[in-house]
Amino acid sequence: GQHVKRVAAYTEILCRAMGFSEEETWKVSVASMMHDVGKICVPREILHKPGRLTDDEFSEIKKHVDYGYKLLKNSPGEIMQLAAGIAKQHHERFDGKGYQNKLEGEHINIYARCVAVADVFDALVSKRCYKKSWTPEQAREEILSQAGQQFDPQITKLFDEHFDEFLKVMENYPDAP
């Protein structure tokens, strides 16, 4: 639950920094909350596996973007349509090496590019059953090192410029102990 709230708040920071209107920023932030909805179709034992995934297990995890898109694509309303696009593209990489469709650069929806930075930052700084949490500064360095590769360089720059706001979100939405 907190992951979803943090990703939405980080996405809001990035959208505002991109110069989107308040209404557009709000819609994208709400839509971002559904970025991983497709994980409900991934077997629980794979999602919560402590330790390294096999190639087959990782292939199954990657399908969550397609599952999410299929769950959302026929839903009515602008926010649900935004959510469908974000769910489908938030693991695409700026350099074209992401999944599932190997989209590159500006062929990736701008909202999905914002959510990608928000999602990865939160994943890095969060403890998971298969990894320890990184410090915020370690996560920052990793994201900055991936500008133009995994992430849109413009969004990465904005992430860096608004890093203090990301830290405030972490404080406001901590994981349960």
Give the alpha-carbon dihedral of 2, 141, 127, 43, to 10 degrees.
80
Catalytic residue status for 63: no
Q: Which of 39, 63, 73, 157 is catalytic?
A: 39
| Tally of CB atoms within 10 A around 94 | 25
The amino acid at residue 133 is: S
57 neighbors 8 (Cβ within 8 angstroms): no
Q: Using CA atoms in the order 88, 91, 92, 97, what is the torsion angle rounded to 10 degrees? A: -140
Task: Examine residue 154 and say whether the peptide bond preceding it is cis (omega within 30 degrees of 0).
Answer: no
What are the residue ranges of helices labelled H in the chain? Answer: 2-18, 22-32, 44-47, 55-62, 64-72, 78-89, 110-125, 136-145, 153-161, 163-172
Show which residues are catalytic: 39
